[in-house]
Amino acid sequence: MEQSLRRSKFEIIYEILLFSSKKEVTITNIIYKVNLNFKIGQEYVNYLTEEGFLLESVNGEKKKIFNL
């Protein structure tokens, strides 16, 4: 029996939240670490931000950063 190599939405959300819980990260950091393309990664980050799971702020370099 073959096992699917695709991750579920829950696994992707888990990885984003786990990575974001360790430090403040940019969307690019999240996308590289979780191994997503930019469009899909942005959709997940926007969803998590809208639902209140991620906090969005701007650092001194005027970059958007995310954390829990």
Please list, residue by residue across 21-35, b when 16 or more beta carbons sit within 10 angstroms of its beta carbon and e when fewer do.
eeeebebeebbebbe
CB 45 within 8 A of CB 16: yes
Q: Return d(Cα 32, Cα 35) in angstroms, integer.
A: 5
What average pLDDT does the segment 39-54 reach? 94
pTM: 0.84
Query: What are the domain boundaries of the chain?
Result: 9-67
Mean pLDDT, residues 50-64: 86
Question: What fold is seen in the domain 9-67?
Answer: Arc Repressor Mutant, subunit A (1.10.10)
Q: What is the four-CA torsion angle of 15, 44, 41, 31, rounded to 10 degrees? A: -30
Note the pLDDT of residue 3.
67
Q: How far apart are CA 4 and CA 40, in angstroms?
A: 19
